[in-house]
């Protein structure tokens, strides 16, 4: 029998390797730009077309390659960066496996032009699907230029696997951020088609952060970033953390070690620890943290595309990191002093609240005072006192105070269908409405006393309305007299374009000004013209988080954010007609019991309950 084991031809072996290293246009960009940095470039110019599908070009002013090296670079395991296994433990370069160019050349058409400073002529190499088509001397600038055309031209399955242009572009931008935020002594320019979307001069880290993300006016980087700085014999940690009040759902969070981006879930927890109790569980702080350690004490050789890195002294560094952040927060007096006189439940972070919610009580306990505070300090049923406490905080009740969070408030079990019918019937008899504390609408119904939270009720009404408008394009626009300008970062702008038509359906009108800026010329007739820019930024922020979650609906997020912002606030006085109108419209909604995000809109004190109290 003949031998059956044989070596795979290079073209096949390279395609297999490429499958690991090159997954999408963003991976190509990352590998090329890292090579430019390894080559000592101080200026790197990037251009992409069609989200990198048809072209990714990276031009640098680095040290260039000799004619032989230019050809060799495409061989697998060809690298100039390490010579033996020991070098692996002293790495200061981004690349070292010598796999990237071979992998790229296996799945795309590649044109390389390169010249070393000392050479008079450069060299042009054209490779596609691992085959070299051309190699000749040419005149070119010193440095290196790579053009990668028609990625996956020979691997249709991979091409089909690519996502929409917007998704691919956001992957590209993410890779770009991870590189430019740490290589701040290098200048970058980035063209998407004909638009230069980034032009980043060499600068310090902080200025670079502002240059990259600065267009998001809401983040006010200048004000929000606190410096951290600590040096021990194990590690030097430097960088910036955001003040707690700027925490958000989709925060910018970056760790770098020895000049390379890394993911580190364990250190991420250390950061959150330092913010303990200062931010809500659903939000998370912005941070840009740079570690410098002896390369011997980390292992980056886990996987070619993985960004996880193993540290020898993980636990010690955890403590150092937490301490450094706490110090920064403390120094700026960010750590709140705890006032034990306050009703704790009100300010509790969301996660705590959820655990505290009592299951609905169905058994009536005659000694149970539903209106008392946790410590039962108030023996008398005193509405003034009860609600007065909340009023004093004069916070926007809609966002942070959740009635259900006060564990001692009576929690009526959800309505049965019968009860709902009853409510509707009773309302038809136009019972007297009464507005309590400019926040609740009280109305007597046959089965008892109905309380409706006006803000939540209106949120539900507007949500249903906006959702319908998005889907049927019926919004009414209201012209703005003095249009404000919405300035966005490049990735926000990408996303914004994605939801632009939804917003137009609701009645917004925008005029593109170029450079990721838009004039807001018209707003939905249901949205006040007050702080429309803040509103849009908030909406964008939330919708972006939703976009990453395949089970969430962007339309609903848009509708909810706008509804929440545009709805009646607590504290707003309503006339009797307005109250009736609100109740009518609420009960016309298919789900009038809960807000779209699951908060209870109304509750009933049953006749029974009331009677037992006397
Ligand atoms: P690695 O970066 O792991 O060494 P690559 O396949 O990415 O492997 O690159 C192979 C080699 O090609 C590098 O080691 C380097 O010598 C050379 N090279 C690649 N890109 C450049 C560049 N922009 N400038 C100079 N040399 C480069
Ligand atoms: Mg490389």
- Would you state the structure tokens that stand for residue 241, as one six-digit string? 């953390």
Summarised one tens digit per residue, pLDDT across range 16-67 is 656 567 889 999 999 999 999 999 999 999 999 999 999 999 999 999 999 9
Give the count of alpha carbons within 13 A of 333, CB side only: 0
pLDDT at position 272 over 70: yes
Closest-CA residue to 389 (of 198, 377, 399): 377
The tokens describing 541, both together, are 């922020």
pLDDT band at 2 (very low <50, low <70, confident <90, very high): low
Q: Is 475 in the pocket of ligand 1 (CB under 6 A)?
A: no
Contact 510, 485 (CB under 8 A): no
Strand stretches in 74-139, DSSP E: 109-115, 122-128, 131-138
CA 197 to chain centre: 20
Q: Closest Cα partner for 193 from 25, 27, 52?
A: 52
Give the ligand with the smallest distance to the CA of 34. 2
CA-proximal residue: ligand 1, atom 25 (nearest): 64
CB 466 within 8 A of CB 558: yes
The residue among 298 and 187 whose pLDDT is bigger is: 187
Q: 79, 112, 143: which to mutate for ligand 1, most atoms within 8 A of CB?
A: 79
Q: How many CA atoms lie within 13 A of 213 on its CB side?
A: 23
Tens digits of per-residue pLDDT, 395-423?
Answer: 332 322 232 333 333 333 345 556 556 66
Cβ contact 585:444 at 8 Å? no
Ligand 2 geometric centre to CA of 161 (Å): 24
Quote the ligand 2 centre to 101 CA distance (angstroms). Answer: 7
Mean pLDDT lowest among 104-118, 136-150, 524-538: 524-538
pLDDT tens, residue by residue, 566-593:
888 888 888 887 888 888 888 888 888 8
- Percent of the chain residues past pLDDT 90, beyond the cut: 35
Dihedral over Cα of 312, 315, 320, 326: its sign = positive
Distance CA 423, CA 434 (A): 16
Q: Does 17 contact ligand 1 (Cβ within 6 A)?
A: no
Kindly give the number of the ligand 1 atom that is closest to the alpha carbon of 73: 12
> Tokens 């006060």 belong to which residue?
406
pLDDT band for 391, please (50, 70, 90 cuts). very low
Contact 25 CB / ligand 1 (< 6 Å): no
- At 162-214, the pLDDT tens digits run 888 888 998 999 999 999 999 999 999 999 999 999 999 999 999 999 999 87
Q: Structure tokens of 350?
A: 């969301």
What is the Cα–Cα distance from 381 to 387, expressed in whole angstroms? 11
The response to whether residue 61 sits with its C-beta less than 6 Å from ligand 1 reads no
- Measured between alpha carbons, how far is 222 from 435 in angstroms, rounded to an integer? 44
DSSP classification of residue 97 = S
Distances, alpha carbon 371 to alpha carbons 248, 375, 388, 452, 513, in Å: 34, 11, 12, 17, 55
Which neighbouring-strand residues pair with 288?
A: 240, 254
Tell me the pLDDT of the chain averaged across its residues: 79
The interaxial angle of helices 576-587 and 417-428, nearest 10 deg, is 140
pLDDT in tens, 467-497: 888 888 777 777 777 778 898 888 888 888 8
* pLDDT at position 534 over 60: yes
What pLDDT is recorded for position 287?
A: 97
Q: Residues 54-110: pLDDT tens digits?
A: 999 999 999 999 999 999 999 877 778 777 667 766 667 777 678 889 989 989 999
Question: CA 564, CA 557: separation in Å to the nearest integer?
Answer: 10
Between these two residues, 546 and 192, which has the higher pLDDT value?
Answer: 192
Residue (of 375, 271, 376) closest to 318 by Cα position: 271
Contact between residue 33 and residue 12 where contact means Cβ atoms under 8 Å apart: no
3-class DSSP state of 349: coil
Cα separation, 201 vs 189, in Å, equals: 8
Token pair in block for residue 592: 């009038």
Ligand 1 atom having least distance to the Cα of 103 = 6
Q: What is the pLDDT of residues 280-296, one digit of tens each?
A: 888 899 999 999 999 88
**Which among 22, 28, 34, 38 is the best mutation to test ligand 1's pocket, defined by most ligand atoms within 8 Å of the CB?**
38
Share of the chain above pLDDT 70, in %: 76
Question: Given this model, what pLDDT does residue 359 score?
Answer: 35
Neighbours of 494 (CB within 10 A): 21
pLDDT digits (tens, 9 = 90+) for 332-358: 765 443 333 333 333 333 333 333 333
What pLDDT does 529 receive?
54
């Amino acid at each position: 029998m003949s031998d059956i084991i044989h070596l795979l031809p290079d073209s096949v072996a390279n395609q297999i390797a490429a499958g690991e290293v090159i997954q999408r246009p963003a991976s190509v960009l990352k590998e090329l730009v890292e090579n430019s940095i390894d080559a000592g470039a101080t200026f790197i110019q990037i251009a992409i077309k069609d989200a990198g599908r048809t072209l990714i070009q990276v031009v640098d002013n680095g040290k260039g390659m000799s004619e032989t090296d230019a050809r060799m670079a495409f061989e697998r395991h060809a690298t100039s960066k390490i010579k033996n296994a020991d070098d692996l433990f002293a790495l200061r370069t981004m690349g070292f496996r010598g796999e990237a160019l071979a992998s790229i050349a296996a799945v795309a058409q590649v044109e390389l032009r390169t010249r070393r400073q000392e050479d008079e002529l450069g060299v042009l190499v054209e490779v596609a699907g691992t085959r070299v088509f051309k190699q000749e001397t040419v005149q070119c600038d010193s440095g290196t230029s790579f053009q990668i055309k028609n990625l996956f031209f020979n691997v249709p399955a991979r091409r089909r696997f690519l996502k929409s242009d917007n998704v691919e572009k956001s992957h590209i931008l993410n890779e770009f951020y991870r590189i430019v935020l740490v290589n701040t002594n290098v200048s970058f320019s980035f063209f998407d088609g004909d638009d230069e979307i980034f032009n980043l001069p060499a600068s310090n880290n902080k200025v670079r952060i502002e240059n990259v993300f600065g267009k998001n006016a809401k983040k006010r980087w200048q004000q929000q970033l606190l410096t951290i700085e600590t040096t021990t014999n194990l590690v030097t940690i430097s960088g910036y953390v955001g003040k707690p009040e700027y925490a958000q759902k989709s925060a910018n969070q970056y760790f770098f070690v020895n000049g390379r981006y890394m993911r580190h879930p364990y250190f991420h927890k250390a950061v959150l620890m330092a913010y303990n109790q200062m931010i809500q569980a659903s939000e998370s702080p912005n941070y840009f943290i740079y570690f410098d350690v002896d390369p011997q004490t980390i292992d980056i050789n886990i996987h070619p595309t993985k960004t996880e890195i193993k540290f020898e002294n993980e636990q010690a560094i955890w403590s150092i990191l937490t301490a450094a952040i706490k110090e920064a927060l403390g120094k700026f007096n960010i750590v709140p002093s705890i006032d034990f006189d306050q009703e704790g439940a009100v300010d509790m972070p969301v996660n705590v609240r959820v655990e505290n919610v009592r299951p609905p009580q169905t058994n009536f306990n005659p000694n149970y005072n539903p209106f008392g505070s946790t410590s039962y300090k108030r023996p008398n049923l005193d509405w003034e006192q009860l609600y007065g406490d909340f009023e004093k905080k004069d916070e926007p009740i809609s966002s942070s105070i959740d009635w259900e969070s006060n564990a001692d408030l009576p929690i009526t079990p959800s309505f049965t269908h019968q009860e709902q019918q009853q409510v509707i019937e009773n309302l038809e008899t136009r019972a007297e409405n009464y507005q309590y504390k400019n926040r609740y609408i009280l109305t007597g119904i046959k089965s008892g006393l109905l309380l409706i939270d006006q803000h939540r009720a209106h949120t539900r009404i507007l949500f249903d309305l906006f959702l319908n408008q998005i889907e049927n394009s019926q919004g009414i626009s209201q012209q703005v007299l003095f249009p404000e300008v919405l300035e966005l970062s490049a990735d926000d702008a990408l996303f914004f374009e994605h939801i632009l038509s939804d917003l137009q359906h609701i009645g917004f009108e925008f005029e593109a000004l170029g450079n990721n800026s838009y004039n807001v010329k018209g707003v939905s007739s249901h949205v006040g013209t007050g702080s429309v820019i803040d509103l849009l930024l908030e909406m964008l922020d939330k919708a972006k988080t939703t976009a990453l979650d395949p089970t969430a609906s962007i339309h609903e997020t848009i509708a909810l954010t706008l509804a929440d912002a545009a709805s009646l606030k607590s504290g707003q006085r309503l006339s009797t007609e307005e109250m009736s109108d609100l109740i009518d419209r609420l009960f016309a909604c298919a789900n009038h019991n809960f807000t779209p995000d699951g908060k209870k809109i109304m509750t009933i004190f049953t006749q029974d309950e009331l009677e037992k109290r006397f």
